[in-house]
Amino acid sequence: MIKEREMVTPSFLKACMEDLSMDIKFDLLEKFLDIKKDLSSLAGRLQRIEDRQENVDQQLQDLKEAQTKLTEKYVILEDKLCDLEDRSRRLNLRFRNIPEDITEDKLQDYLKEFFGCMGLSSEQYDNKLSRFHRLFQKKQDQKFPRDVIASFFSFDFKRKVYQTARNIVIEQEKFKAIKVLTDVSFLTRQRRNLFSLVFPYLEKYNIKFKWNQQSALQIYYRDIWKTFSTLEQVLVWLKDNKL
In this predicted structure, what is the pLDDT of residue 77?
Answer: 86
Predicted confidence at residue 213, as pLDDT, reads 67
Q: How many CB atoms lie within 10 A of CB 196?
A: 11
The answer on 133 and 101 residing in a single domain is yes
Residue 4 counted as domain residue: no
Number of domains in the chain: 3
pLDDT tens, position by position, 36-82: 887 888 888 888 888 888 888 888 888 989 888 888 888 788 888 88
Q: What is the pLDDT of residue 90?
A: 87
Residues 39 and 78 in one domain: yes
Q: Are residues 13 and 64 in the same domain?
A: yes
Q: According to the model, what pLDDT value does residue 92 have?
A: 92
With contact defined as beta carbons under 8 Å apart, do 178 and 166 qualify? no
In a domain, 96, yes or no: yes
- Which residue range forms the structural domain that includes residue 64? 9-86
The pLDDT, as a whole number, for residue 214 is 66
What is the model's pLDDT at position 4?
52
pLDDT of residue 179: 92
Q: What are the beta bridge partners of residue 218?
A: 210, 227
pLDDT under 70: residue ranges of the chain: 1-8, 13, 124-125, 213-214
Q: Which amino acid is at 34?
A: D
Could you give phi then psi for residue 237, rounded to 5 degrees?
-65, -45
Rounded Cα distance, 219 and 228, in Å: 8
d(CA 116, CA 110) in angstroms, rounded, equals 10
pLDDT at res. 128? 76
Residue 139 and residue 167 in one domain: yes
pLDDT at residue 166, rounded to an integer: 86
Same domain, 77 and 148: no
| Helices of type H across the chain | 2-7, 10-88, 104-117, 122-125, 155-167, 186-195, 199-204, 231-240
The single-letter code of the amino acid at 111 is L
CA distance 175 to 117: 8
In this structure, are 66 and 94 located in the same domain? no
Q: Are 215 and 82 in contact (CB under 8 A)?
A: yes
Question: What kind and span of H or E run contains 151?
Answer: strand 148-152
Residue 1 belongs to some domain of the structure: no
Q: Is the dihedral of CA 82, 85, 88, 89 positive or negative?
A: negative
CB 183 within 8 Å of CB 92: yes
